[in-house]
Amino acid sequence: MVQRIFIAVLALLLFIPHSASAENNKELKAQVESILRENPEILLNIIRENSEQVLLALREGNSKAKIAAMKAQWKQDVAVPKEVALNDRAIRGNADAPVTIIAFSDFTCPYCERAAFTLNSLLSHYGKTVRFIFKNYPLASHENARMASQYFVAANNLDPEKAWKLYDEFFANRETLIAEGEPFMKKTAEKVGLDPEKLAAEARTEPVNAIIDEDMADAKALELEGTPYFLVNNILIRGALPLDLYSEAVEIALDHENKK
């Protein structure tokens, strides 16, 4: 019975000419709605037999709706200034770029690792249009996170270019960093051309720890929960997103700058 009714509905949909008038289309819609209202088991049967496809369609629709809402929020965020401390922070890229991406990140976080390599690709794509600033947000629950941040800030104090090499090595070997801790950090420092003992001493200084504490205070002021978070000019982004979404944020920020 259900199959016969379903075939009748399909026949109504398939055999009405594409050039049918608006009145005919309205009548067709009313007929289909009437059949489905009187025989709801048709839809239930379709859903049961095609549950995977239905779920995929729902997820895709939900994902698209979330992305659309996120982009709409970004267009509002970009006009709202957000002040964070940037003095003495590590900068990658053109210091005078119109778009600044600020990371609140943790060297031991897997999502931060993923985002770090995505952002490297983004910087390569945009060239002098974008600069990247790293702010440390080591989570207390992550072993060796605070020490890794201390080493990175200390490296930037000693040699900014080598600090970024250290940054890449820390994220590329995140699991080893977690497992071995400071011995790994010292080996990595030597690998990138830094004096490991000098770096270890610098990492424990008050100015280094003051920078990390200030970064963490900024994160709390912005009510950031977890890592990573990013500011693209004033757009607040949560999590490790695909490259195309980071690019969308950069384009929104650029468009806002061009309209000033």
Q: Tell me the three state secondary structure of residue 239.
A: coil
Is a pLDDT exceeding 80 seen at residue 31?
Answer: no
Average pLDDT, whole number, for the chain? 86
**Given a cut of 50, is residue 120 above it in pLDDT?**
yes
> Are 135 and 183 spatial neighbours (Cβ–Cβ below 8 Å)?
no
User: Higher confidence at residue 54 or residue 144?
Assistant: 144
> First vs last Cα of the chain: how many Å apart?
65
* pLDDT of 192 higher than 50: yes
H/E stretch holding 149 reads helix 145-158
pTM for the predicted model, two decimal places: 0.75
Residue 240's pLDDT band (boundaries 50, 70, 90)?
very high
Cβ 163 vs Cβ 156: under 8 Å: yes
- Quick one: pLDDT band at residue 56, thresholds 50, 70, 90? low
What integer pLDDT is reported at residue 48 of this predicted model?
Answer: 61
Confidence of residue 50 (pLDDT cuts 50, 70, 90): low
Most confident of 24-33, 50-59, 63-72, 196-205: 196-205
Rounded average pLDDT over 91-111 = 96
What is the average per-residue pLDDT within 184-207? Answer: 98
Of all residues in the chain, the percent with pLDDT exceeding 90 is 69
Residue 165: pLDDT band (50, 70, 90) is very high
- Residue 94: pLDDT over 60: yes
Helix (H) or strand (E) holding 62: helix 51-77
15 pLDDT above the threshold of 50 = no
Q: Report whether pLDDT(24) > 60.
A: yes
Distance CA 191, CA 169 (A): 9
Across the beta sheet with 99-105, what order do the strands follow? 91-93, 130-136, 99-105, 229-232, 235-238
Please tell me the predicted confidence (pLDDT) of residue 257. Answer: 92
Average pLDDT over residues 177-191: 97
Look at residue 82 in the predicted model and tell me its pLDDT.
94
Residue 59, pLDDT score:
55
pLDDT at position 14, please? 47
